[in-house]
Structure 1
Amino acid sequence: MSLILVVEDEPRLLTSIVRTLQESGYATLQAETLSEATRNLSEEVDLVLLDLMLPDGSGIDWMTRLRDKDDATPVLVLTARDAVEDRVVGLDAGADDYLVKPFAWDELLARIRVILRRGTRLDSTQLAFGPITVDLINRRAQRSGVPLNLQNRQLEILIYLMKHGDQVVTREMLARDVWNEPTTTWTNVIQVHINHLRKELEANGQSPILHTVRGQGYVLGDVPC
């Protein structure tokens, strides 16, 4: 059972979120301040639902400190701040997703399911997404226990896709975050590496898991509707 920490200072909304999560089969912890959130955060927490405006500080600052400590606990921001600039700040600070209040319960639960399916650290040295695992220390990848023959750059792409599982990753994102280039001059090179990665992932009759979304980019996992 996944454990979700809910950080929200509005009592009625906090109660509603916790009740909805528990009725959906999740275990919960709750906090009305960032201090409580810090005390309740543990290695067992699978996801944090985080309001940004708390009585004792900014959720953005709290999340930034979390990431600065190399804490990769997934965070879903729940906030009334709906400007594009606010979303960008939240995602850049380390949020895994951003949902604007008021929200539909079905959408909240769907986003939670997506995040929990994404690349999850089994410990500090391993990453997993569905049947794919990566040994981050020895830099080795497997699908369903079968080793993948990947070059370093292909492994970096795979890790990046795993961390963004079920989300479309654009060529621009790969150029910027994997190649550290601000332009798309690497488009043809990226496609070559994607093709090899896909071939390895689908070797020995394995089902397709790396998809091209026409005009957008690539997605590991389910193709978006």
Structure 2
Amino acid sequence: MRVLLVEDDLDMAESLKASLAADSHEVDHAGDGELGESMALNGAYDVIVLDRMLPKKQGVSIVRDLRGKGVSTPVLILSALHDEDHRIEGLNAGANDYLGKPFSTRELLARVRSLWHGRDLGPATRLQVGDLEMDLLARTVKRDGKKLDLQPREFRLLEYLMRHAGQTVTRKMLLENVWDYHFDPQTNVIDVHISRLRSKIDRDFAQTLLHTVRGSGYRLEG
């Protein structure tokens, strides 16, 4: 796996590079935000590990701009700012995961591997529920032939729901498999993303596909 590490603390960067390399990853390093964004735009990386507080350009702004330019590479933000508001800001900007400092190297490596494995599409390259279609290679979603514009987290959420079409998906399942949280952060991050996703896949269509199962979770069915 090819990893881009954007970290201005050189001691930490060297330590993380060594740990990632020992875990069989190829690592490129950028020491400031502007260089990191340029490398992310021009390099083929599997995962980006991005410090939040960087010289020249902040990590959250980098993620937001990368997503706006169509870069869907999974991003793990590292930050000493890891209260609820800061985590939500990072995730809403388009980050796939958020890890507070200090952290254990084992946890960071596990999260990097999880982000990569989450992109493993398996043999299927297209998913369909009713007239809702997802192309996993082109990273596009259409309903009744109309292309829908989804943010990376919305795409990942919808992919999980489509893979479990007809089943009730619990909040715990979403937290663990879409956000990689193995605890309940006690935030409304799921509700916010479900609401945004519902507005895009259901609002302009006669049939509702995404249903709330009161007290249990959500179900996608056509």
Same fold by TM-score, threshold 0.5 exceeded?
yes
Distance 1:189 1:171, change over 3 A: farther
What is the match of residue 150 of structure 1?
129
Q: CA RMSD in A?
A: 3.3
CA distance in 2, matches of 1:154, 1:174: 19
Aligned residues, how many? Answer: 170
Distance 1:66 1:112, change over 3 A: same
Q: Percent identity, aligned pairs only?
A: 26
Pairing of 1:81-92 with structure 2 (within 5 A): 81-92=81-92
The answer on whether the counterparts of 1:49 and 1:78 sit within 8 Å (CA) in structure 2 is: yes
What is the match of residue 176 of structure 1?
195
The answer on whether the counterparts of 2:49 and 2:76 sit within 8 Å (CA) in structure 1 is: yes
The residue identity in structure 1 corresponding to 2:38 is R
CA distance in 2, matches of 1:171, 1:56: 32
DSSP 3-state at the match of 2:125: strand
Consecutive unaligned residues of structure 1, counting only runs of 5 or more, are: 120-127, 135-140, 142-148, 182-187, 195-213, 219-225
The answer on whether the counterparts of 1:118 and 1:162 sit within 8 Å (CA) in structure 2 is: no
DSSP 3-state at the match of 2:48: strand
DSSP 3-state at the match of 2:94: coil
The residue identity in structure 2 corresponding to 1:131 is P
CA distance in 2, matches of 1:36, 1:168: 27
The reply to whether residue 71 of structure 1 matches residue 71 of structure 2 is yes
The reply to whether residue 190 of structure 1 matches residue 210 of structure 2 is yes
CA distance in 2, matches of 1:95, 1:51: 12
Distance 1:174 1:67, change over 3 A: closer
The residue identity in structure 2 corresponding to 1:152 is D
CA distance in 2, matches of 1:20, 1:189: 44
| CA offset digits 1:32-74 (Å, max 9, x no partner) | 1012213322342111100011111211111111111111111
The answer on whether the counterparts of 2:157 and 2:178 sit within 8 Å (CA) in structure 1 is: no
Distance 1:83 1:40, change over 3 A: same
1:173, distance to aligned residue in structure 2 (A): 5.7
> Higher relative contact order by CA 8 Å / sep ≥ 6: 1 or 2?
2
The answer on whether the counterparts of 2:7 and 2:32 sit within 8 Å (CA) in structure 1 is: yes
The alignment's TM-score, normalised by the length of structure 2, stands at 0.65
1:94, distance to aligned residue in structure 2 (A): 0.7
The answer on whether the counterparts of 2:51 and 2:79 sit within 8 Å (CA) in structure 1 is: yes
Consecutive unaligned residues of structure 2, counting only runs of 5 or more, are: 135-140, 142-153, 161-173, 181-188, 201-207
Distance 1:171 1:56, change over 3 A: closer
1:75, distance to aligned residue in structure 2 (A): 0.7
What is the match of residue 51 of structure 1?
51
DSSP 3-state at the match of 1:9: coil
The reply to whether residue 7 of structure 1 matches residue 24 of structure 2 is no
